[in-house]
């Protein structure tokens, strides 16, 4: 009998047969989910035998929900995710115009999924534009609910825009009628919960450095405050476990298990990530900078199409492929299921089944290393065996099965 995951006293309680919802999504979504599911199930079975099994069940969203006469993101879907705590989703199309909000944005807001987590690492065999792609191995925590990117905007010439313009004029900032206005909000509580998530991840995963990324030199009240509030949190809540870089004496090193929290101005961070990638471990960034950084870093390791992601709140998480619905290749066996599969691995790790999570990543790395790839990664390269979506999934299942039965499975 499957049961729901619970969340008590700040901890997830995961039964051996958790009921976990999935949203296959639109376009290539259903085919990448069909490819991902057996890989995840095989990893769980190989790690834990019959003791553990995920009872997946489908929730409607996107085109499928519209066709049933429902909303793009039905209320019942949001409620079911909240109730089951963890979900995985494929890409969903956003109808253009007509007041439709992106499902992802709506989900993040409804469930307060305040941190977007994106691990970025290199997989041997993948073509990369840099000389030493393996030197970059980071996890980006991007604030998900605030910043100019949260969408508080007023069009030029609109009545609302004129009212905001008048309020700004009263503060001495003249705004002409032909100006669109976007408002940037960064709060202390929003910053602290994001930075806390990044530090907690670092502590749990043996990472030693968390870097706050900001443009505080220019936007002092928002991005500068992000930096200040991040350091404030370190001093208040992590004494003895983490240290704020400004508090170090000149030449002082951080030793032992202590995490160094430092900061970098965003433009310099983009340079340094290319020039000195090994200096970075965990990044914590406001929404817009985090958005740019996530794709730039994924591109650096050649992994833009396979980067996994998760949107995380307190005791809640939605794991998702980071690409779109790719209508140009849907239904043709050309889709790379890597992003969905690696997102599934993050899900397994999140629910406390790291042995299964590792098997997924190891198998993925093994198949790519052997030169077997989907068409997007194989394009224009010599000596690569091109597999369709289903065959790539089969190769992973085989690789995991070959990795042998449960060894030192997690307690």
Does 320 interact with ligand NAI (rule: CB under 6 A)? yes
Does 222 interact with ligand NAI (rule: CB under 6 A)? no
CA pair distance 321, 298, nearest whole angstrom: 13
Interacting residue with ligand NAI among 323, 345, 356, 360 (CB under 6 A): 323
Burial class (CB in 10 A: 0-12, 13-18, 19+), 391: middle
Distances from the Cα of 230 to the Cα of 13, 112, 132, 197, angstroms:
29, 20, 31, 11
Contact 30/24 with Cβ under 8 angstroms? yes
Min CB(66)–ligand NAI separation in Å: 13
Interacting residue with ligand NAI among 23, 36, 93, 243 (CB under 6 A): 93
The structure tokens listed for 405 are 């039965």
Does 305 interact with ligand NAI (rule: CB under 6 A)? yes
Contact 108/76 with Cβ under 8 angstroms? no
Active-site residue 220, yes or no? no
Active-site residue 291, yes or no? yes
Q: Which is nearer to ligand NAI, 89 or 359 (CB)?
A: 89
Nearest CA-CA partner of 230 in 288, 308, 282: 282
Does 115 interact with ligand NAI (rule: CB under 6 A)? no
Residue nearest to ligand NAI (CB): 324
The catalytically annotated residue of 55, 79, 247, 267 is 267
Active-site residue 201, yes or no? no
The catalytically annotated residue of 147, 215, 263, 355 is 215
Min CB(123)–ligand NAI separation in Å: 15
Cβ neighbours around 403 below 10 Å, total:
17
The catalytically annotated residue of 114, 149, 201, 238 is 149
Min CB(104)–ligand NAI separation in Å: 5
Interacting residue with ligand NAI among 53, 274, 329, 391 (CB under 6 A): 329
Does 324 interact with ligand NAI (rule: CB under 6 A)? yes
Span between the terminal Cα atoms of the chain, in Å: 21
Q: Which is nearer to ligand NAI, 376 or 388 (CB)?
A: 376
Q: How many residues bind ligand NAI (CB under 6 A)?
A: 19
Does 376 interact with ligand NAI (rule: CB under 6 A)? yes
Count of positions (residues) in the chain: 411
Distances from the Cα of 332 to the Cα of 7, 328, 364, 381, 407, angstroms:
41, 9, 22, 21, 38
x/- track of binding to ligand NAI for residues 30-49 (CB under 6 A) = --x-----------------
Active-site residue 149, yes or no? yes
Min CB(61)–ligand NAI separation in Å: 9
Does 104 interact with ligand NAI (rule: CB under 6 A)? yes
Phi-psi bin for 10: left (phi > 0), alpha (psi -120 to 50), beta? Answer: left
The catalytically annotated residue of 262, 263, 291, 355 is 291
Does 91 interact with ligand NAI (rule: CB under 6 A)? yes
Positions 120 through 159 that interact with ligand NAI (CB under 6 A): none
CA pair distance 55, 21, nearest whole angstrom: 8
Does 328 interact with ligand NAI (rule: CB under 6 A)? yes
Q: Which is nearer to ligand NAI, 281 or 320 (CB)?
A: 320
Does 227 interact with ligand NAI (rule: CB under 6 A)? no
Cross-strand partners of 116: 142, 311
Q: In what order do the strands lie in the sheet with 55-58?
A: 55-58, 19-23, 86-89, 316-321, 308-313, 115-120, 138-143, 282-285, 209-214, 259-265, 242-244
Q: Which is nearer to ligand NAI, 222 or 325 (CB)?
A: 325
Does 335 interact with ligand NAI (rule: CB under 6 A)? yes
Min CB(32)–ligand NAI separation in Å: 6
Q: Which is nearer to ligand NAI, 254 or 329 (CB)?
A: 329
Does 109 interact with ligand NAI (rule: CB under 6 A)? no
Does 314 interact with ligand NAI (rule: CB under 6 A)? no
Q: Which is nearer to ligand NAI, 108 or 193 (CB)?
A: 108
Place of tokens 């002409």: 176
Catalytic residues: 149, 215, 267, 291
Q: Which residues bind ligand NAI (CB under 6 A)?
A: 28, 32, 91-94, 104, 305, 320, 323-326, 328-329, 335-336, 339, 376
């Amino acid at each position: 009998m499957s049961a729901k995951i619970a969340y008590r006293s700040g901890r997830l309680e995961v039964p051996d047969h958790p009921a976990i919802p999935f949203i296959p999504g639109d376009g290539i979504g259903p085919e990448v989910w069909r490819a991902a599911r057996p890989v995840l199930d095989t990893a769980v079975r190989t790690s834990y035998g019959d003791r553990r099994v995920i009872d997946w069940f489908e929730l409607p969203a996107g085109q499928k929900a519209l066709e049933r006469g429902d909303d793009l993101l039905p209320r019942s879907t949001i409620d079911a995710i909240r109730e089951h705590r963890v979900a995985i989703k494929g890409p969903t199309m956003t109808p253009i115009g007509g007041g439709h909000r992106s499902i992802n944005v709506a989900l993040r807001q409804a469930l307060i999924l305040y941190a977007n987590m994106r691990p970025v690492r290199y997989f041997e065999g993948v073509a990369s534009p840099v000389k030493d792609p393996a030197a970059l191995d980071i996890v980006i925590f991007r604030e998900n609910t605030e910043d100019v990117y949260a969408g508080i905007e007023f069009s030029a010439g609109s009545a609302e825009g004129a009212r905001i313009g008048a309020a700004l004029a009263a503060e001495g900032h003249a705004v002409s009628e032909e100006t669109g206005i976007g408002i940037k909000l960064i709060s202390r509580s929003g910053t602290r919960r994001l930075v806390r998530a990044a530090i907690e991840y670092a502590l749990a995963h043996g990472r030693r450095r968390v870097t706050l990324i900001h443009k505080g030199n220019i936007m002092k009240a928002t991005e500068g405050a992000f930096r200040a509030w991040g350091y404030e949190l370190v001093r208040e809540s992590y004494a003895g476990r983490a240290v704020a870089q400004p508090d170090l004496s000149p030449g002082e090193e951080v030793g032992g298990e202590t995490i160094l929290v430092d900061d970098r101005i965003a433009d310099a961070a983009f340079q340094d990530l290319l020039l000195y990638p090994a200096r970075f471990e965990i990044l914590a960034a406001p929404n817009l900078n985090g958005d740019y950084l996530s794709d730039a870093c994924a591109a650096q390791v050649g992994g833009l199409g396979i980067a996994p992601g998760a949107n995380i709140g307190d005791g809640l998480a939605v794991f998702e492929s980071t690409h779109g619905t790719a209508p140009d290749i849907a239904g043709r066996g050309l889709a790379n299921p890597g992003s969905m599969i690696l997102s599934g691995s993050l899900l397994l790790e999140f629910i406390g089944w790291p042995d299964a999570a590792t098997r997924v990543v190891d198998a993925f790395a093994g198949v790519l290393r052997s030169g077997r790839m989907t068409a997007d990664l194989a394009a224009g390269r010599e000596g690569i065996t091109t597999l369709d979506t289903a065959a790539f999934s089969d190769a992973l299942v085989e690789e995991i099965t070959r990795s042998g039965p449960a060894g030192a499975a997690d307690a």
